[in-house]
Amino acid sequence: MTAMDASIETRLQRLEDERDVLRPLYQYGHTLDYGPEDAFLDCFTETAVWTQAGRFARPETTRRFEGRGGLIKLFRHHTHAPEIYHKHLLVEPRITLHGDEASVESYYVRIDEHPEGAYIRAFGRYRDRVVRCPDGHWRIQQRLTETEGRNRKDFPPAPWTDLPLTVR
């Protein structure tokens, strides 16, 4: 292999990695909004941690779902279509690659249905750590959901209110 080939291979790998890092980030929104559960869980490693923090976070309100068990409960206590239609929009992902790990900062906007019409329920930022798994797929190891703006409308009801703050 020539130096030119190696360089092209490395550069191509970088582009593929950036594309593949996006896969679980987009899959997250689609599967949380529509299911199925196993595709949602496939966005994460077995030991992944999902945390909700940010502007509205206080120690007594910070939610944490840990590991496969926690993420199953996150999914099952969340609304999905067709019972409730909503969208988790992810935009402007900024990906930084570090070999088999990546850090990503992206915006999210959640749009929900409401008896009075569709509305923006919340917006904020995702801060993710994504890792390349042994099967070659990238999965989320850590997702920090920073909610920065939230609408007071309460339809559909907020998920997880009947769960403890830390779920495993």
Q: Which residues, other chains included, contact 72 with Cβ-Cβ below 8 Å and sequence gap of 6+?
A: 37, 41
Is residue 1 close enough to count as binding another protein by CB under 8 A? no
Q: Which of 122, 130, 131, 167: binder of another protein (CB under 8 A)?
A: 122
Q: Is 57 exposed, middle or buried (0-12, 13-18, 19+ CB in 10 A)?
A: middle
Is residue 98 close enough to count as binding another protein by CB under 8 A? no
Q: Which of 39, 41, 120, 163: binder of another protein (CB under 8 A)?
A: 120
Is residue 12 close enough to count as binding another protein by CB under 8 A? yes
Is residue 15 close enough to count as binding another protein by CB under 8 A? yes
The smaller minimum CB distance to another protein, of residues 49 and 53, is found at: 53
Is residue 55 close enough to count as binding another protein by CB under 8 A? yes
Q: Least distance to another protein from the beta carbon of 117, Å?
A: 13
Q: Which of 62, 151, 156, 163: binder of another protein (CB under 8 A)?
A: 151
Is residue 92 close enough to count as binding another protein by CB under 8 A? yes
- Percent of the chain as helix, strand, coil, to the nearest 5: 30, 40, 30
Q: Which residues, other chains included, contact 87 with Cβ-Cβ below 8 Å and sequence gap of 6+?
A: 29, 33, 110, 111, 112
Q: Could you tell me which of 87, 163, 92 has the C-alpha nearest to residue 121?
A: 87
The smaller minimum CB distance to another protein, of residues 94 and 162, is found at: 94
Distance CA 41, CA 27 (A): 10
Distance CA 93, CA 105 (A): 6
The smaller minimum CB distance to another protein, of residues 32 and 104, is found at: 104
Q: Which of 97, 142, 150, 155: binder of another protein (CB under 8 A)?
A: 150
Q: Name the site residues for another protein (rule: CB under 8 A).
A: 4, 8, 11-12, 15, 18, 55, 91-94, 105, 107, 109, 119-123, 148-152
